């Protein structure tokens, strides 16, 4: 769904009710001609003029290709400056240069540059320390990755609790090759602004078949116990320091556990079958497949198409979907094939990837972000101090680690009408259809909300459960909360308990 296509003219922008956005200062955007767009067209006209003069008067001929390439060189140089500036600490320069592009997204220069700016800077937005440096340099509002970032805690909380318009993005990263049959089914790109839309019904369908019939029985089954026993054995026998084998192997160790356990308890898939595991691991392994499957432009060639199809087939034939009922209006007539393709994507983008990162973080497999001494926190040592029988203490430990190092750094929203935001003391207008980055990672370290010790590790922090945003929620509230949040949290808590016992037995 395009950004423009989701914004009806009569809709009211919900974020206007928050403190983060304001009505525009004018009914029109600032003139594009008086910005970099005007410079670009001057380059085009100068190139054409040079080519004409050379072709009719000078006849050197080498000037013509140079003149015609001048606009492309301008585009390349401008894009390069915008993308390189933050790497040199010049976040404000990058933000200022791309502001006009975001204000005039349909202009040719914007169409040529914004996709690449979005890809390059969007990848950096996955780095929590990088995001922290943006706020330290720019303040709570900024323009980066072709989006307007608004990181004030109250504004982010208001967004998560409001209906949202979306497009084909995962946070700040553009997606492609998304699951589809005859209509849009990818939950992250669907709006949930009206009851007649399909988003909430598709979520209900996913939840019904993944977490209801047979789910509780599978959690308590002998197969599930074998998964946990294998995890404990792998932890005993594999090096499990940061970046070591327990955290890097694909079919064994922590990732192998999540693939076996989640596909079994959610779908009833026989993950003891080596051929099934081979198909699942091929798509769920490492970080490269996620880019090759779904991230633009890496997934454009669809080189992973056959791999995705094999996982689709395994899910389609799983026991959880064996009793699928077609044509249920309460699920917007979602078909078995639609749910299959949606589930394949969710398992790769969220269930395995996101929960695995959280589990790595809480067990000391990842260093905390190198900002404000967060990376000096010895998570494993703090884990060793926990009472493994105290469920709430284990939950708070997970939430506090995730507050400082969240597995998902941001969500996004598409503005339904023109608005303005204060960026480094300037009030800047933006049009309807603008992509708004909602950085939950920055909101969860907002000093105004969390206090002067916002960057300190403190699992006893007041209101930690009520204010956390780890699963696109605000405590127990939210309109687009991750449907697998309880499974993810319960699994990470149990990992702390099971592996914590292994650690203490070995001492």
Q: What is the DSSP string of 280-339?
A: HHHHHSSSHHHHHHHBTTTTTT-TTHHHHHHHHHHHHTSGGGTT--TT-GGGTT--HHHH
Name 73's Cβ contacts closer than 8 Å, sequence gap at least 6.
none
Query: Residue with structure tokens 């880019």?
Result: 291
What does the alpha-carbon distance between residue 226 and residue 310 come to, in Å, rounded to a whole number?
A: 25
**3-state DSSP of 44-73:** HHHHHHHHHHHHHHHCCCCHHHHHHHHHHH
Rounded to 5, what percent of the chain is helix, strand, coil?
55, 5, 35
Tell me the whole-structure pTM to 2 decimals: 0.93
- pLDDT tens per residue across all 507 residues of the chain: 444 344 443 356 777 777 778 999 998 999 999 899 999 999 988 888 877 877 777 777 677 777 778 889 999 999 999 999 999 999 999 999 999 999 999 999 999 999 999 999 999 999 999 999 999 999 999 999 999 999 999 999 999 999 999 999 999 999 999 998 999 999 999 999 887 789 999 999 999 999 998 999 999 999 999 999 999 999 999 999 999 999 999 999 999 999 999 999 999 999 999 999 999 999 999 989 999 999 999 999 889 999 999 999 999 999 999 999 999 999 999 999 999 999 999 999 999 999 999 999 999 999 999 999 999 999 999 999 999 999 999 999 999 999 999 999 999 999 999 999 999 999 999 999 999 999 999 999 999 999 999 999 999 999 999 999 999 999 999 999 999 999 999 999 999 999 999 999 976
Render the burial of 302-329: b for 16+ CB within 10 Å, e for the rest.
eebeebbebbbebbbebebbeebeeeee
Matching residue, tokens 């449907």: 483
Q: Which two tokens stand for residue 154?
A: 């109250």
Q: Please give the Cα distance from 310 to 281 (Å, whole number).
A: 11
Cis? peptide before 297, omega within 30° of 0: yes
Q: Which tokens sit at 113?
A: 């540059």
Please give the span between the terminal C-alpha atoms of the chain, in angstroms, as a whole number. 55
Predicted pLDDT at 9: 38
**CA pair distance 402, 363, nearest whole angstrom:** 12
SS3 25: coil
Q: Where are the beta strands (DSSP E) in 33-133?
A: none
> How crowded is residue 85: how many other Cβ atoms within 10 Å of its Cβ?
19
Residue 88, judged by CB atoms within 10 A of its CB (0-12, 13-18, 19+), counts as: exposed
Under 8 Å between Cβ of 386 and 146: no
Contacts of 371 (CB under 8 A, 6+ apart): 128, 129, 132, 133, 455
Between CA 144 and CA 127 the distance in angstroms is 14
500 touches 388 (CB < 8 A): yes
DSSP three-state, residue 459: coil
Cβ proximity of 197 and 190 under 8 Å: yes
Residues 6+ apart with CB under 8 A from 98: 82, 113, 114, 117, 143, 144, 146
CA distances from 150 to 141, 197, 480, 496 (A): 5, 27, 18, 34
491: left (phi over 0), alpha (psi -120 to 50) or beta: alpha
Strand, helix or coil at 426?
A: strand
- Encode burial over 90-117: b for 16+ CB neighbours within 10 A, e otherwise: bbbebbbbbbbbbbbbebebbebbbebb
The pLDDT value given to residue 195: 79
Q: Tell me the two tokens of residue 242.
A: 């940061």
Closest of 444, 469, 470 to residue 457, by C-alpha: 444
Report pLDDT for 507. Answer: 64
**pLDDT score of 5:** 41
Give residue 11's pLDDT: 54
- How many alpha carbons fall within 13 Å on the CB side of residue 419? 25
Provide the 10 A C-beta neighbour count for residue 245.
14
Cα 293 → chain centroid: 15
pLDDT at 99: 97
CA pair distance 310, 51, nearest whole angstrom:
54
């Amino acid at each position: 769904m395009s950004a423009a296509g989701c914004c009806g003219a009569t809709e009211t922008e919900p974020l206007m009710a928050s403190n983060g956005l304001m009505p525009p200062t004018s009914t029109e955007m600032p003139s594009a001609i008086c910005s970099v767009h005007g410079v670009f067209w001057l380059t085009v006209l100068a190139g054409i003029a040079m080519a004409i003069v050379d072709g009719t008067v000078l006849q050197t001929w080498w000037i013509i290709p140079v003149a015609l390439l001048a606009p492309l060189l301008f585009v390349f140089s401008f894009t390069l400056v915008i993308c390189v500036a933050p790497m040199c600490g010049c976040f404000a320069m990058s933000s200022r240069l791309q502001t006009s592009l975001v204000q005039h997204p349909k202009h040719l220069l914007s169409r040529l540059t914004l996709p690449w700016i979005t890809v390059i800077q969007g990848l950096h937005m996955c780095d929590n320390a990088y995001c922290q440096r943006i706020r330290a340099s720019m303040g709570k509002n900024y323009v980066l990755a072709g989006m307007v970032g608004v990181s004030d805690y109250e504004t982010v909380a208001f967004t998560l609790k409001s209906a949202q318009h979306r497009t084909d993005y995962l946070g700040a990263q553009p997606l492609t090759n998304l699951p589809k049959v005859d209509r849009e089914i990818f939950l992250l790109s669907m709006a949930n602004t009206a009851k007649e839309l399909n988003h909430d019904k598709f979520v209900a369908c996913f939840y019904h078949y993944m977490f209801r019939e047979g789910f509780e029985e599978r959690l308590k089954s002998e197969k599930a116990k074998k998964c946990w026993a294998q995890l404990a054995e792998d932890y005993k026998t594999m090096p499990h320091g940061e970046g070591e084998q327990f955290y890097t192997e694909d079919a064994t160790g922590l990732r192998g556990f999540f693939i076996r356990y989640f596909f079994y308890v959610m779908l009833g898939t026989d993950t003891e079958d080596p051929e099934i595991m081979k198909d699942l691991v091929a798509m769920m392994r490492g970080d490269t497949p996620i880019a090759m499957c779904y991230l633009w432009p890496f997934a454009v060639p669809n080189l992973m198409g056959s791999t995705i199809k094999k996982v689709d087939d395994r899910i389609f034939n799983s026991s959880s979907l064996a009793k699928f009922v077609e044509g249920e209006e309460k699920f917007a007539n979602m078909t078995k094939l639609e749910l299959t393709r949606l589930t394949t994507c969710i398992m790769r983008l969220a269930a395995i990837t996101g929960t695995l990162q959280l589990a790595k973080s809480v067990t000391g497999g990842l260093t905390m972000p190198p900002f404000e001494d967060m990376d000096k926190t010895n998570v494993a040592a703090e884990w060793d101090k926990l009472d493994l029988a105290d469920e709430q203490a284990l939950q708070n430990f997970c939430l506090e680690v995730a507050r400082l190092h969240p597995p998902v750094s941001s969500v996004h929203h598409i503005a339904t009408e023109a608005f303005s935001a204060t960026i480094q003391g300037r009030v800047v207008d933006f049009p309807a259809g603008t992509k708004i980055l909602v950085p939950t990672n920055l909101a969860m370290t907002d000093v105004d909300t969390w206090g002067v010790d916002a960057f300190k590790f403190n699992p006893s922090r007041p209101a930690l459960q009520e204010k956390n945003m780890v699963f696109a929620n605000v405590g127990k509230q939210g309109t687009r909360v991750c449907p697998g949040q309880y499974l993810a949290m319960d699994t990470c808590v149990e990992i702390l308990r099971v592996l914590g016992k292994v650690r203490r037995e070995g001492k």
